[in-house]
Structure 1
C-alpha cells in the first residue's frame, strides 16, 4: 500500500513540474510577439521626426460660408498656421518639451499679426495665437523660438501673396469655377514647387478653402509638398462674397 502511495506522489510531482515547464515555454513564445507591439504603440510623440513645415493660408469667405464666424469675412487669404509635419503623414502637435506662450515675446509683431493672422472663430486673436504656438509652434522650438515662429509666418505671407500669384495665371475670386489642377499648376509655376489644395462644401458646391505651401524646418526654403490629395473634387469655386 505504501508503494502505491509513493508512486502516486511521484506522479503528481512530475505532472506539476511538466505543467510549470509548459507554462514557461508558452509565456516565452507569446512575449516574442507581444513585446514589439507594445513597444510600437507607446512611442512618445516627441520622437516623431520633424521633416518640414506646412505654411497654411485660408480663404476667409469659404471658411465663413462653412461655419459662423465671429468677425466679418473678407475676400483675402489670411494665415491659418505654420505646422511642423513628417513625411510619414503625421502632423506634429502638443509636444511637451517646449515653452509656454508669452505675449510679451511678440509684442513688436502684434499689429501685423492682427492684420495677417486673425482668428475668424475667436474674438481674441491672442487666444488663437496661444493655441497655435502651444499646439504646433513648440514642436519647432529647436529651430524657431516663439518670436521667430510668428515672424517667419509673417514673412512667408508677405512673400507668397496667393491672390496675386493666382491672378497672374488668370484665376480670380469672382465666383468662377476652376479646375483643381489649374490652381495647383498656377502656384507651382509661380513658386517652383508643388502645393496642396483643400476645399470645403457650401450647399454641395466645393469651394477653395485653404492652400498649403511647404518649407524646410526653418521655414525659409520652399520645397515640394508631399503628394497628398486634400480635395476630392476636380473643380472648385473661388468665391468673392459670402453665400455666392
Structure 2
C-alpha cells in the first residue's frame, strides 16, 4: 500500500511538472507585443482580425453598425486609450488563452484601478465598469506573457506605455485636430514617428457615411514590455490617403 501511495505521489508530481513546463512553453511563445492602446473599445475585446492599437473613441462611436455607452464611472476624456498589450510572433501569428489556471483577479490590480478607469475604459453597451474587458485582455493575451509579466505587471506595463505615447498631444502639436476634418495619412504617420521614434501602423474604419477615418494606431514593444521597438511585421489592412479625424 505504501508503495502504491508513493507511486501515486510521484505521478501527481509528474503531472504538476508537465503542467508547469507546458504553461512556461506557451507563455514563452511570442517575439514581441503589439501595444494595444485603445480609447474605448468594446469589453468583449478586439474585433475579428484586429490587433493591438490606439483606438480613437469618436471612430468607434460614429460607425454605421456600432453604438457606444459611457462607462459607469462616467464619460471618458477625449483621448486615445488602451485596447491591450498583445503578444505576437514575427511570422504574424499570435498565441492566445495560454493559461486557464490563472484567471483575471481584480484584487491583484486594486492599486491601479483609478488609472485603469481613466486610461483603459470601455465604450461597450450596456454601460459597465470595464472589468469584463480587462478580464478578456488578461485571459486571452496577458496569460501568454507570464514568463515576463505577472498579472499586476501586465496591466501596469500597458498603463506606463501609454504615458510614453501621448498620441492626442502629438497630433495636436502637428496641427492634426479631432475636429471632423480630413488629414493626409502620411502626415499622421510622420508626426507620430517623429515624436515617438518608431513608425506606427494606422488602422482605419468607416463612419456611417462611408468616410475612411482614423481608428487605431499600432506600436510594437519588446518581449519584456519595457521598450518600443521597430515593428517586425505590421497587421494587414489599408487606409485611404486622406482620412477623417472625428470629434468625440
The TM-score with structure 2 as length reference comes to 0.74
Offset at residue 231 of structure 1 (A): 2.6
RMSD across aligned C-alpha pairs, in angstroms? 2.0
Asked if structure 1 preserves the Cα contact closer than 8 Å seen for 2:34 and 2:87, the reply is yes
Distance in 2 (alpha carbons) for counterparts of 1:169 and 1:230? 25
Offset at residue 65 of structure 1 (A): 1.2
Distance in 1 (alpha carbons) for counterparts of 2:215 and 2:76? 13
Secondary structure at 1:207 match in 2 = strand
Q: 2:80 aligns with which of 71, 77, 80?
A: 77
The aligned residue for residue 235 of structure 1 is: 242
Offset at residue 48 of structure 1 (A): 8.0
Which aligned pairs between 1:39-188 and structure 2 lie closer than 5 A?
A: 46=26, 49-56=29-36, 57-66=54-63, 67-71=66-70, 72=75, 74-96=77-99, 99-121=102-124, 123-188=128-193
Gaps of 5+ in 2: 1-24, 37-53
User: In the superposition, relative to structure 1, how do residues 112 and 48 fare at CA in structure 2: closer, same or farther (>3 Å)?
Assistant: closer
Distance in 2 (alpha carbons) for counterparts of 1:73 and 1:235? 27
- 1:140-169 CA distances to partner (integer Å, 9 max, x unpaired)? 111010000000111111221101111222
Offset at residue 228 of structure 1 (A): 4.3
Secondary structure at 1:213 match in 2 = strand
Asked if structure 1 preserves the Cα contact closer than 8 Å seen for 2:29 and 2:144, the reply is no
Rg larger in 1 or in 2?
A: 1
Of structures 1 and 2, the one with the larger relative CO (CA 8 A, separation 6+) is: 2
Distance in 2 (alpha carbons) for counterparts of 1:73 and 1:208? 18
Q: Give 1 or 2: higher helix fraction.
A: 1
Offset at residue 116 of structure 1 (A): 0.6
The TM-score with structure 1 as length reference comes to 0.75
